[in-house]
């Protein structure tokens, strides 16, 4: 059995559990339990503080973990990273009071900045040639300027609503983050085999999320123009229709290119275009 550590609550926890379920792994999750065991996969899930996860994985208390890149890099444990997961995206940003006269990052020269990420902030300030007093606190960073604790803050931002509600405005992006899968570097052969199985499932889910299954009808005369627009995994499937001179084409389209391709398909003569989400996609 392999042990997976995830954040015990919050958006990252919800997104992590959603991914595990999409991988076909069943388990019972309750707010009162700090661990649970999968019923159909050799996996035990530990619910921990996000800041503790990299250290527990590095020490072998947990075999693998899902954590934000910001936490991983702050702890200097980037070597544990196995795979970017593409969800729980956020950014570490500098913010100042709404009425402050802020020009650029040099405005913070000699000022006091409150943060829970002193290492990331120091690296950023050094890269900009700015010297500031970094005041490390573990929570409620946004309140620091209003109580006179600091001139600015450096904190995690998703929508920015928390900053606004505390009279702050975002001025600089220090670090962009998303969820990553991390692993202990000394997994034995059996645990590494289980990790590879889990990665296989995660990749199938991720590929499906980035793709759409497209079915359309087209006159046979339009197929030469339509085929290059629908590469699919190898090439589109073409099935003759009962109506003579017409065919149905089936293919997979990347989400990022979807609307551009659909427009071109219409222009090439495609009709009755049906778009279907994909649950899993295995190359």
pLDDT tens-digit map of 47-64: 999 899 999 999 999 999
- Pairwise pLDDT comparison (41 vs 162), residue with the higher score: 41
Identify which of 232, 212, 226, 229 has the alpha carbon closest to the alpha carbon of residue 274.
212
Percentage of residues of the chain with pLDDT beyond 90: 82
- The pLDDT, as a whole number, for residue 28 is 85
Which segment of 47-51, 92-96, 148-152, 156-160 scores lowest on mean pLDDT? 156-160
pLDDT mean over 82-96: 95
Which residue in this structure is represented by tokens 């495609």?
Answer: 270
Domains of the chain, CATH where assigned? 2-87+179-208 (3.40.190.10), 90-177 (3.40.190.10), 211-277 (3.30.70.120)
- Spatial separation of the C-alpha atoms in residues 208 and 181, rounded to whole Å: 18
Confidence of residue 118 (pLDDT cuts 50, 70, 90): very high
Mean pLDDT, the chain, whole residue set: 93
pLDDT mean over 103-107: 95
- The pLDDT, as a whole number, for residue 162 is 86
- The pLDDT, as a whole number, for residue 80 is 96
104 Cβ contact list (under 8 Å, min separation 6): none
pLDDT mean over 1-26: 94
- Spatial separation of the C-alpha atoms in residues 135 and 141, rounded to whole Å: 10
93 Cβ contact list (under 8 Å, min separation 6): 154, 155, 156, 157, 163, 170, 171, 172, 173, 174
Confidence of residue 31 (pLDDT cuts 50, 70, 90): low
- The pLDDT, as a whole number, for residue 66 is 98
Which residue in this structure is represented by tokens 């250290």?
Answer: 55
Percentage of residues of the chain with pLDDT beyond 70: 99
- Pairwise pLDDT comparison (141 vs 235), residue with the higher score: 141
Quickly list H helices, 29-117: 53-59, 69-74
- Spatial separation of the C-alpha atoms in residues 122 and 110, rounded to whole Å: 13
- Spatial separation of the C-alpha atoms in residues 5 and 60, rounded to whole Å: 11
- The pLDDT, as a whole number, for residue 224 is 94
- The pLDDT, as a whole number, for residue 158 is 86
The yes-or-no verdict on residue 22 having pLDDT over 70 is yes
- Spatial separation of the C-alpha atoms in residues 68 and 84, rounded to whole Å: 10
pLDDT mean over 115-133: 96
Q: Which 3-state string (H, E, C) describes 114-180?
A: EECCHHHHHHHHHHCCCCCEEEECCCCHHHCHHHCCCCEEEEEECCCHHHHHCCEEEEEEEEEECEE
Determine the length of the chain.
283
The yes-or-no verdict on residue 163 having pLDDT over 80 is yes
Which residue in this structure is represented by tokens 């402050």?
Answer: 100
The yes-or-no verdict on residue 83 having pLDDT over 90 is yes
């Amino acid at each position: 059995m392999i042990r997976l550590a995830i954040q015990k609550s919050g958006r990252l926890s919800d997104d992590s559990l959603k991914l595990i379920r999409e991988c076909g792994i069943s388990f019972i999750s309750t707010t009162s339990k700090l661990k649970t065991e999968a019923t159909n996969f050799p996996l035990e899930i530990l619910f921990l503080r996000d800041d503790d996860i990299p250290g527990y994985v590095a020490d072998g208390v947990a075999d693998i973990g899902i954590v934000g890149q910001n936490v991983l890099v702050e702890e200097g444990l980037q070597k544990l990273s196995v795979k970017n997961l593409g969800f729980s995206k956020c950014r570490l940003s500098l913010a100042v009071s709404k009425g402050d006269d802020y020009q650029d990052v040099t405005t913070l020269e000699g000022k006091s900045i409150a943060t829970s990420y002193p290492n990331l902030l120091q690296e950023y300030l050094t890269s900009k040639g700015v010297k500031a007093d970094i005041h490390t606190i573990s929570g409620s960073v946004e309140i620091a300027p209003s109580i006179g604790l600091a001139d600015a803050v450096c904190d995690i931002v998703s929508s920015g609503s928390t900053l606004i509600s505390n009279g702050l405005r975002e001025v600089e992006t220090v670090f962009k983050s998303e969820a990553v899968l991390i692993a202990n570097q000394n997994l034995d052969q059996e645990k590494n085999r289980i990790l590879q199985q889990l990665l296989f499932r995660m990749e199938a889910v991720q590929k499906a999320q980035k793709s759409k299954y497209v079915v359309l009808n087209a006159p046979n005369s339009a197929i030469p123009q339509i085929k290059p627009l629908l590469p699919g995994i190898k090439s589109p499937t073409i099935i003759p229709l009962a109506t003579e001179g017409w065919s149905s084409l089936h293919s997979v389209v990347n989400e990022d290119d979807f609307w551009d391709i659909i427009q071109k398909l219409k222009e090439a003569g495609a009709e009755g275009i049906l778009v279907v989400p994909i649950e899993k996609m295995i190359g």
